[in-house]
Amino acid sequence: MPSPDLDVVVIGAGLAGLGAATALRDVGLRCRVLEAAGRIGGRAWTTYPEALGGAWFDMGAFWFHDAANNPLVDIARRHGETLLRSDELRTERTLVDGHLATEAERADYDAAWPRFEAAADALIARHGDVSMADVTRHLADDPWAPTIEAWEAPVICTAPADRFSALDWRRNALCGFNLVPEGGIGAFVSRRLGQGLDVRLNTPVRRIRWGGAGGQVTVETDRGAITARACIVTVSTGVLASGALAFDPPLPTEVQDAVANLPMGMAIKVALRATGADRLDLPPHCSVDRRVGREADPFVPFQFWPFGRDYVQGWIGGPLAWDLAAAGQDAIIDHAMGQLRALFGARVDRLFVGGGRFVTGWDADPWVRGAYCYATPHHADARDRLGAPVADGHLMFAGEGCNIPYAGTVAGAWISGQDAAKAVGACLAP
């Protein structure tokens, strides 16, 4: 049998693929990364929309979460990158039934988070797992429980509350403080994380034949086939579930089951540029949320005048984001305007009508198919199962879906890629 072309082939040049390739290079394994798109970074992608005056704009990841423990922060610091202390710059406003929250309401809101967490922990201890919606139902008299559910399920985790595992939520650690690399995470990734790696862009992988003699893997692309001793697949669970990447033989049932229980959530960033000098009496970099009602009350948090810029950015997450994405850009902008009008009245019409507008569309990217994944109730372990070695470690999966406690983040993707590389290294060791 001819010897394989490479030691390891990595599918995808997002954070997981780059993390894996870096670790493999560091131990001297011959590795190539095959990337379908024409750029590296995947969901870390900085653009410069004209509609927003050409300022840098992260289409996907924006923050380095849990910055004190985030490995990408260390890399950024080593390279002398400027890291913006976004939490310290931020001011916050919460509205309750149209008025600014009183001090007492604000204090109750603050106290509601540990109440919600304690209720989730108690329900998980009793039932093994529950949905986030179950936690809210359990806190029937808590006026803030629907707000916390709205923040944590559809907004932050992009998940429908009734299909989202409370245990998955509790295992994740988006705690600590956040930093933002000046110029955007996507730009940082393409500037700092691709050097010295063998990456082939515009090379979609169509089929992976695995389980050959000695564990050999053959990867079929539009530009021909490549053989390797092992393969690390870092595409999203949305791509895996779509069948756009075929496996021969089909993946083991445990892997298919893990993918099915890690569906993609959806998030849309919608930005509207102001045309006048009015700033709605809000300071720069101001986050605005509101108390959410119990009955079908779609919630869109806004960041006004990020870093002193002249636009507002809304975040639409969860099932509403899928519905609006399907309805199109005008529907997304109408929804954002409706939410702004409910908060600030007709002033927003004068301020935003005729201004630039910009909407992200991760649903339409065939190489991603959503924002990031969440685990369904009683399947929080799907992340570990997806990251477990297949074929004795000759086939590994990595990515944001496989990591705890940094699920759905750039750090989680990077760490999971490095973990997969270690497992492959052990598998290929003489």
Ligand X SMILES: Cc1cc2nc3c(=O)[nH]c(=O)nc-3n(C[C@H](O)[C@H](O)[C@H](O)COP(=O)(O)OP(=O)(O)OC[C@H]3O[C@@H](n4cnc5c(N)ncnc54)[C@H](O)[C@@H]3O)c2cc1C
Tokens found for residue 319: 């099932």
Pairing state between β 286-290 and 267-273: unpaired
Nearest C-alpha neighbor of 418 from the set 6, 17, 3: 17
Q: Tell me the C-alpha distance between 14 and 238, whole Å.
A: 14
Is residue 408 near ligand X by the rule CB under 6 A?
Answer: yes
Among 263, 298, 399, 425, binds ligand X (CB under 6 A): 399
Is residue 403 near ligand X by the rule CB under 6 A?
Answer: no
The Cα diameter of the chain in Å comes to 75
Q: Report in angstroms how near the CB of residue 34 gets to ligand X at its nearest.
A: 5
Is residue 359 near ligand X by the rule CB under 6 A?
Answer: no
Q: Report in angstroms how near the CB of residue 211 gets to ligand X at its nearest.
A: 19
Q: Report in angstroms how near the CB of residue 68 gets to ligand X at its nearest.
A: 14
Is residue 409 near ligand X by the rule CB under 6 A?
Answer: yes
Is residue 410 near ligand X by the rule CB under 6 A?
Answer: yes
Among positive and negative, which fits the CA dihedral 185, 330, 324, 344? Answer: positive
Is residue 61 near ligand X by the rule CB under 6 A?
Answer: yes
Q: Tell me the C-alpha distance between 5 and 365, whole Å.
A: 30
Is residue 20 near ligand X by the rule CB under 6 A?
Answer: no
Q: Please enumerate in sequence order all residues whose Cβ is within 8 A of that of 346, keeping only pairs 6 or more positions apart, or say none.
A: none
Q: Report in angstroms how near the CB of residue 219 gets to ligand X at its nearest.
A: 9
Is residue 262 near ligand X by the rule CB under 6 A?
Answer: no
Total interface residues for ligand X by CB under 6 A: 40
Count Cβ atoms below 10 Å from residue 310 Cβ, excluding itself.
18
Among 413, 415, 423, 428, binds ligand X (CB under 6 A): 413
Count Cβ atoms below 10 Å from residue 52 Cβ, excluding itself.
22
Which lies closer to ligand X via its Cβ, residue 17 or residue 263? Answer: 17
Q: Report in angstroms how near the CB of residue 140 gets to ligand X at its nearest.
A: 32
Which lies closer to ligand X via its Cβ, residue 18 or residue 288? Answer: 18
Question: Where in 125-184 is the site for ligand X (CB under 6 A)?
Answer: none
Tell me how long the chain is. Answer: 430
Residues 13, 412 contacting (CB under 8 angstroms) = no
Q: How many CA atoms lie within 13 A of 384 on its CB side?
A: 7
Build a one-symbol-per-residue string for 187-226: x at contacts with ligand X by CB under 6 A, - elsewhere: -----------------xx---------------------
129, burial (CB in 10 Å: exposed 0-12, middle 13-18, buried 19+):
buried
Among 235, 336, 340, 382, binds ligand X (CB under 6 A): 235
Q: Report in angstroms how near the CB of residue 137 gets to ligand X at its nearest.
A: 28
Which lies closer to ligand X via its Cβ, residue 399 or residue 425? Answer: 399
Which lies closer to ligand X via its Cβ, residue 9 or residue 166? Answer: 9
Q: Tell me the C-alpha distance between 298 and 335, whole Å.
A: 10
Q: How far is CA 315 from CA 54, 174, 284, in A?
A: 20, 17, 17
User: Would you tell me which residues interact with ligand X (CB under 6 A)?
Assistant: 11-17, 34-37, 42-44, 60-63, 65, 204-205, 234-236, 239, 245, 267, 269, 362, 367-368, 371-372, 399-400, 408-411, 413
